[in-house]
Amino acid sequence: MNGATGLGELVRLAARRSRWFYLAWVLALTLVVPATAAAYEQIIDPANADLLITTMTGIMGVLGIVRSTRAQEEDGRIELLRSGAVARHVPLVAGLVVGLAACAALGVLVAVAMIVVGAPAAGSVAFGGGLALVGATFLGIGAVAAQLTASARTANALGLWTLAAAYTLRAVADGSGEGATARLAWASPVQWMALARPYADERWWVLALPAAATLLLVVGAVALEAGRDHGAGLWAARRGRATAPERLRDASGLAWRLHRGQVVGWSIGMLLFALAMGSLSTSFGEMLEEVPQLRIIFERMGGGAERLVEAFFVAMLSIVSVVMAVLAVSLFGRLREQEERGHAELVLSTALSRRRLLGSHLAIAALVPVLLLAVVGAVLALNQSRSVGDWSIVAETAGAALALAPGGLVALGIAVLVHGWAPRLGWVAWVVVGWSLFMAWVGTALDLPEWLTRLTPWAALPQLPVEGMDWTAVLVTLAVAVLLVAAGAVGYRRRDITGL
Amino acid sequence: MDAIELVEVTKRFGATTALDQLTMSVAHGEVHGFLGPNGSGKSTTIRLLLGLLRADSGTVRMLGGDPWGEAPTLHRRLAYVPGDVALWPGLTGGEVIDLLGRLRGGIDTTRRAQLLERFDLDPTKKGTTYSKGNRQKVALVAALASDVELLLLDEPTSGLDPLMEAQFRAVISGERDRGRTVLLSSHILSEVEHLCDRVSIIRAGQIVESGTLAELRHLTRTSVVAELAAPVPEALASAPGVHDAQIEGHRLTCQVDDTELGPVMSRLSALGIRAITSTPPTLEELFLRHYDESA
């Protein structure tokens, strides 16, 4: 038995288990890249527009490797494989092989797509290659995280926090212009692709950075794996309290406990985003005055605002409100997970009613994103208010954000309806928010017909302050959301809880 | 009124019929063993009783109510231990015990402490770090520390070591003495023999036997090995109630229907018995007979 025994079989198994995951990510990213690039083509060089893309690729890398290594180990599947003729590091290496193949496919597809939309070939290769290598780096980061902790959730969190740190590093470096702080960008993996300057006199050697980092991380992960027991992490599992705190006494106490981490993580992330975007807003006007095409795009995204700052706020809020719908659907998805894992069976065998169980997750999934949306609106406007000296802008922007909230609640309502009647169709709500996100992000910039870009739950809602407040539209959208939730709740009380 | 009553209950999942006109009952205050091969419908029956599943037809009554329509109210009076206990990764065993107890409407902290000690369970570990047996202990402690009338236990000891199994038996005996009703699904026959007043055997979604152990034994055969004073006559092999007879001179080995045991014994003593051993049927033989038929 040598070090590669069983590699072929396990690579096939990993590919089979992860094919839809990677396929969805790679296709989505491949579609978004040229669309964004075409939209911004003449104005911004594509590398700058694509921090989003590198970040998404990083997320794919972390989630991809953790789901095919630590998550499998935690569920006890790798134990069975290891009892067969499989060398020690083969499960990890098989996951890496499949993940690297997905990154490579992404790189090739993006490069080809860019060339097809008319970008220079050399730049497109640097762009696709850079993207693939950044993905590979985060695959490596995820692989190391998967060795440190025994829980897949913690491993995911570790990887994603590293990604967030890299993102923040790049934001700090960007904001500081020139000098020593600007050089910090070199320490941020999400920036490496842009530092290779695709389409602008490519610096090919920069791509050696992510390649070397990937190699180091993979070697590191294998070395760490050699030093731990199966099923264990390098960090010992912590002990907890012997009795439950007073708060953990009913369905809402349990739901909050289960959602807490995700809620805190998202809140910090969204606040940072709002602060960063808010600080941009004041300098934004001057920047846009110089670039007429970008001004046109933002006016379009901003619902035709006269003042560019308003257009900027409207554009940001229309995206953030859809991102909050993503959060809402994801939070509500916890209920499905509770059923799949058998936790729901346990709590429903107590005096807890289905209505309360549903309500406990629904309340968090509805309230947290709406609150967060209002806070993001307020924080976004802080800088502008300070520079103008008019604090009423803060309340107005928060109000504008809230006027968009019913759209996200409709998306949540669809998730509840589907879960109540046909839990197998859980992906439907994700299609709705995915489509809405795509339309909010690039639909307007691409100048797609308005009936198409407005084919979302947000269609009727007013874009304040560019448009006037339309109470009818807001209340009708809200009523639709309430009806969807109510219909879903009826179904949930009637169907079998089978553990799916 | 019985604690549990199922009358001609049918439950289908798509094309498969999990329960097929199942009828069974559990009286108040009895420990009822629920036996059957894997996939025969034990867990489906228990989930129907918990109101997690809805019967396609038939009547389900539990503690005088309708488990589907009145689930939360009825659940105050029962506790359930699933066969495969899924604990939350972020919660400790102690937190889960308290949470489940509070959700049921209260927990007896003295009893909780006694049970933790009795089952030798560390409540400070996080959910995923417990072994299968320890996860079951968490659910057992949570169930037993609540003051309820009915315990629904779905293979509760499948992950316990023999020492803990003995503790479990002692605790359940205590529960019976306190007048609680227990429905115990199990594969461990000695456990059922020790604990259960009555037994129901389920196969392919139907109850095939139900009664006290003594009653069920009557349906089976006793194996008899006899050493006689005279050579065994060949005719004995074909006597009513005698099966699988083997005759070697003075020695007879055979199976005898319990109903024919008397007449067969008379014939043997007429021939003069030098030595005889008769072994009553074990539950295991009873079982194998029913399990085999399902194959």
Max Cα-Cα span within chain B: 75
Residue A499 has pLDDT above 80, yes or no: no
Our CA angle for B261, B265, B271, nearest 5°, is: 155
> Quick one: A389 and A422 in the same domain?
yes
Sequence letter at residue A288: L
**Phi and psi torsions of B91, nearest 5°:** -105, 145
Q: Is A149 helix (H, G, I), strand (E, B) or coil?
A: coil
Range of the domain at B190: 4-216
Q: Which residue of chain A has the CA closest to B72?
A: A351
Residue A485: Cβ-neighbour burial (10 angstroms; 0-12, 13-18, 19+): buried
> Quick one: A54 and A86 in the same domain?
yes
Q: What is the pLDDT of residue A50?
A: 65
> Quick one: B65 and B182 in the same domain?
yes
Interface touch B125/A244, C-beta < 8 Å:
no
Residue A314 has pLDDT above 50, yes or no: yes
Strands B31-35 and B198-203: parallel
Q: Confidence class of residue A305 from pLDDT cuts 50, 70 and 90?
A: low
Interface touch B79/A349, C-beta < 8 Å:
yes
Residue A48 has pLDDT above 60, yes or no: no
Residue A29 has pLDDT above 90, yes or no: no
Among A369, A392, A260, A381, CA closest to A320: A369
- Edge-to-edge strand ranges of the sheet holding B31-35: B78-81, B150-154, B181-185, B31-35, B198-203, B206-212
Q: What is the pLDDT of residue A288?
A: 64
> Quick one: B141 and B239 in the same domain?
no
Among B166, B199, B216, residue at a domain's last position: B216
Max Cα-Cα span within chain A: 74
Q: Which residue of chain A has the CA closest to B76?
A: A351
Strand partners, B17: B12
Section A310-317 average pLDDT: 85
Sequence letter at residue A401: A
Residue A242 belongs to a domain: no
Q: pLDDT of A435-455, one tens digit each?
A: 998 888 777 667 778 788 788
- Edge-to-edge strand ranges of the sheet holding B4-13: B16-26, B4-13, B57-62
Among B38, B68, B42, CA closest to B184: B42
> Quick one: B154 and B239 in the same domain?
no
> Quick one: A6 and A134 in the same domain?
yes
Chain B residues within an 8 Å CB radius of A497: 47, 52-53
Chain B residues within an 8 Å CB radius of A353: 71-72
Minimum distance, in Å, between the CA of residue A66 and any CA atom of chain B: 16
Q: What is the pLDDT of residue B119?
A: 94
Interface touch B94/A243, C-beta < 8 Å:
yes
Section B223-239 average pLDDT: 88
Kindly give, in sequence order, each residue whose CB lies less than 8 Å from that of residue A19, ignoring residues fewer than 6 positions away: none
Chain B residues within an 8 Å CB radius of A496: 52-54
Interface touch B72/A250, C-beta < 8 Å:
no
Residue B181 has pLDDT above 90, yes or no: yes
Residue B11, CA atoms < 13 Å, CB-side half-sphere? 29
Residue A367 belongs to a domain: yes
Residue A449 belongs to a domain: yes
Rounded Cα distance between A376 and A259, Å, is 20
> Quick one: A291 and A171 in the same domain?
no
> Quick one: A190 and A276 in the same domain?
no
Section A469-496 average pLDDT: 95
Q: Which two tokens stand for residue A379?
A: 């924080």
Residue A455: Cβ-neighbour burial (10 angstroms; 0-12, 13-18, 19+): middle
CATH of the domain at B174: 3.40.50.300
Nearest to A237 among B47, B84, B126 (CB): B126
Residue A165: Cβ-neighbour burial (10 angstroms; 0-12, 13-18, 19+): middle
Q: Is B178 helix (H, G, I), strand (E, B) or coil?
A: coil
Quote the distance between the C-alpha of residue A274 and its chain's center. Answer: 16
Q: Confidence class of residue A38 from pLDDT cuts 50, 70 and 90?
A: low
Q: pLDDT of B69-126, one tens digit each?
A: 999 999 999 999 998 899 998 899 999 999 999 999 888 999 999 999 999 999 999 8
Among A178, A207, A235, residue at a domain's last position: A235
**Phi and psi torsions of B121, nearest 5°:** -110, 130
Average pLDDT of chain B is 89
Q: What is the pLDDT of residue A470?
A: 92
Q: What is the pLDDT of residue A303?
A: 64
CATH of the domain at B277: 3.30.70
Q: Which two tokens stand for residue B288?
A: 């194998």
Nearest to A351 among B13, B52, B104 (CB): B104
Among A173, A204, A235, residue at a domain's last position: A235
Q: Which two tokens stand for residue A455?
A: 């084919």
Section A36-53 average pLDDT: 54
In total, how many domains does chain B have? 2
**Phi and psi torsions of B242, nearest 5°:** -100, 130
Chains A, B: CB pairs < 8 Å = 118
Among B194, B216, B238, residue at a domain's last position: B216
Interface touch A351/B73, C-beta < 8 Å:
yes
Nearest to A345 among B52, B75, B103 (CB): B52
Q: What is the pLDDT of residue A200?
A: 81
CB A499 within 8 A of CB A340: yes
Average pLDDT of chain A is 86
Q: Mean pLDDT lowest for which of A172-176, A285-289, B149-153?
A: A285-289
> Quick one: A193 and A254 in the same domain?
no
Q: What is the pLDDT of residue A498?
A: 81
Q: Which two tokens stand for residue A115?
A: 């060339």
Q: Is A393 helix (H, G, I), strand (E, B) or coil?
A: helix
Minimum distance, in Å, between the CA of residue B100 and any CA atom of chain A: 7
Q: pLDDT of A141-194, one tens digit each?
A: 999 999 998 888 889 989 988 998 888 787 777 666 666 667 778 888 988 888
Residue A84 has pLDDT above 60, yes or no: yes
Interface touch A350/B126, C-beta < 8 Å:
no
Strand partners, B80: B152
Q: Mean pLDDT lowest for which of A279-288, A402-411, B192-201?
A: A279-288
> Quick one: B77 and B204 in the same domain?
yes
B231 touches A at CB < 8 Å: no
Q: Which residue of chain A has the CA closest to B46?
A: A349
In total, how many domains does chain A have? 2
Q: Confidence class of residue A284 from pLDDT cuts 50, 70 and 90?
A: low
Q: Confidence class of residue A60 from pLDDT cuts 50, 70 and 90?
A: very high
Section A30-36 average pLDDT: 70
Residues 45..84 of B with a Cβ closer than 8 Å to A: which? 47, 50-54, 71-73, 75-76, 78-80, 82, 84
Kindly give, in sequence order, each residue whose CB lies less than 8 Å from that of residue B118, ignoring residues fewer than 6 positions away: B167, B171
Rounded Cα distance between B210 and B94, Å, is 38
Residue A240 belongs to a domain: no
Interface touch A250/B103, C-beta < 8 Å:
yes
Q: What is the pLDDT of residue B295?
A: 44
Strand partners, B257: B221
The DSSP annotation for A247-287 comes to: TTTSHHHHHHHHHHHHHHHHHHHHHHHHHHHHHHHHHHHHH
> Quick one: B23 and B166 in the same domain?
yes
Q: What is the pLDDT of residue A42?
A: 42
**To probe the interface with B, which of A350, A353, A496, A498 has the most B CB atoms within 10 Å?**
A350
> Quick one: B137 and B277 in the same domain?
no
Section A83-91 average pLDDT: 86
Q: What is the pLDDT of residue A289?
A: 66
Q: What is the pLDDT of residue A307?
A: 74
Task: Give the single-character DSSP code of A204.
Answer: G
Nearest to A496 among B52, B72, B152 (CB): B52
Residue A328 belongs to a domain: yes
Residue A263 belongs to a domain: yes
- Cα dihedral A188, A189, A190, A195 in deg (nearest 10): 80
Q: What is the pLDDT of residue A104?
A: 96
Residue A338 has pLDDT above 50, yes or no: yes
B274 touches A at CB < 8 Å: no
Chain B residues within an 8 Å CB radius of A245: 95
Q: Which residue of chain A has the CA closest to B82?
A: A346
> Quick one: B91 and B51 in the same domain?
yes
Q: Confidence class of residue A35 from pLDDT cuts 50, 70 and 90?
A: low
Q: What is the pLDDT of residue A56?
A: 84
> Quick one: A220 and A268 in the same domain?
no
Residue A292 belongs to a domain: yes
Section A487-492 average pLDDT: 97
Interface touch B75/A239, C-beta < 8 Å:
no
Residue A241 belongs to a domain: no
Quote the distance between the C-alpha of residue B256 and its chain's center. Answer: 26
Q: What is the pLDDT of residue A81?
A: 84
Interface touch B128/A150, C-beta < 8 Å:
yes
> Quick one: A212 and A343 in the same domain?
no
Section A340-357 average pLDDT: 94
Section A369-380 average pLDDT: 95
> Quick one: B208 and B80 in the same domain?
yes
Q: Is B232 helix (H, G, I), strand (E, B) or coil?
A: coil
The DSSP annotation for B211-244 comes to: EEHHHHHHTSEEEEEEEESSPPPGGGGGSTTEEE
Chain B residues within an 8 Å CB radius of A153: 89
Interface touch B129/A346, C-beta < 8 Å:
no
Q: pLDDT of B189-223, one tens digit each?
A: 778 888 999 999 998 899 988 988 877 776 667 88
Minimum distance, in Å, between the CA of residue A336 and any CA atom of chain B: 14
Q: What is the pLDDT of residue A350?
A: 94
Section A366-381 average pLDDT: 95
Range of the domain at A353: 247-500
The DSSP annotation for A185-199 comes to: GGG-GGGHHHHT-TT
Residue A482 has pLDDT above 70, yes or no: yes
Minimum distance, in Å, between the CA of residue A443 and any CA atom of chain B: 41
Q: Is B218 helix (H, G, I), strand (E, B) or coil?
A: helix
Strands B242-248 and B221-228: unpaired
Kindly give, in sequence order, each residue whose CB lies less than 8 Å from that of residue A295, ignoring residues fewer than 6 positions away: A288, A289, A308
Among A170, A203, A235, residue at a domain's last position: A235
> Quick one: B175 and B267 in the same domain?
no
Q: What is the pLDDT of residue A45?
A: 45
Interface touch B50/A250, C-beta < 8 Å:
no
More reliable by pLDDT, A244 or B287: A244
Residue A44 has pLDDT above 90, yes or no: no
Q: What is the pLDDT of residue B164?
A: 92
Among B178, B194, B216, residue at a domain's last position: B216
> Quick one: A213 and A357 in the same domain?
no
Minimum distance, in Å, between the CA of residue B200 and any CA atom of chain A: 23
Give the whole-number percent of chain B exceeding pLDDT 90.
Answer: 56
Q: pLDDT of A185-236, one tens digit each?
A: 888 898 888 888 888 888 999 999 999 999 999 999 999 998 888 878 877 7
**To probe the interface with B, which of A346, A493, A498 has the most B CB atoms within 10 Å?**
A346
> From chain A, which residues contact B within 8 Å (Cβ)?
74, 150-151, 153, 237-245, 248-251, 253-254, 257-258, 261, 341-343, 345-354, 494, 496-498
